[in-house]
Structure 1
Amino acid sequence: MKDTLQSCLGKHNCDIDEAVVSDMVTELCEANPLNSTLSRSGPLSSAYKRRAFFEEQFGVVKPVEYVLSKEENRTFQYIPLFKSLLQILNQKEIRDFIVHDSEAQSNSDTQYRAMSDGNYYKTNELFSAGHPSIAIILYVDDFEICNPLGTSRKKHKVTAVYWVLASVPALLRSSLTSIFLAILCKAGDVKRFGYSAVLEPLLKDLVSLEEEGLYVPALGRKVKGTVFSVVADNLGAHGMGGFVENFSGSHVCRFCLGERSQFQVKEVRTGAFQVRTKEQHEMHLQTVQENPALTHVCGVKRQCVLTENLKYFSVLSGYPPDVLHDLFEGIVPREMALCLQVFIKSKYITFEELNKSIKTFPYKWSDKTDAPQQIPLNFAARKSVGGNAHENWSLLRFLPLTIGSKIPEGEPAWEVLLVLKDIVELVVSPVHTEESICYLDSKISEHKHRLLQVFPQEKLIPKHHYLEHYPQLIRAYGPLVFLWTMRFEAKHSLFKRIVRYNHSFRNILLSMAMKHQLRIAYNQHDPSVVRPVLQATQLSTVDVAVLREDIQKALQDKFPTEMHIQIANNVVYSGTKYAVGMVLANGSTGGLTDFGELIQIVVVKGTLLFIVKSLIAWSVEHLRSFILEKTSTVKVLEPTELSDMLPLTPYVLGGKSIVTLKRYICVP
Structure 2
Amino acid sequence: MASLLLLLHLLPPQPGGQKSPKISASDAVERLVVFHKSCCSLEEHLRGQQGLQPYLLAVGRQRSKIDSFYIVMDKCLIPCQTNGSLGAFDELFKAHFVNIVFSPILTMGMTIYLKHLIVEHHKLFKFLYSHRNLIPKHHFMIHYPSSIRKIGPLLHMWSMRFEAKHKMFIEYFKNFKNITKSLAKKHQMATAYHWETISIKENEHGPLKPFSLKDEDVVNKEMLQMISSGDVFSTSWVRVEGVEYRPGLAVCSTIQDEMPVFCQISDVLLVDNTFLLLPKQLFTETFDDHHHAFRIVQSEERHLVKKT
TM, length-normalised to structure 1: 0.26
Work out which structure has the larger RCO, using CA pairs closer than 8 Å and 6 or more positions apart in sequence. 1
Question: Comparing both structures, which one devotes a greater share of its residues to strand?
Answer: 2
More helix by share: 1
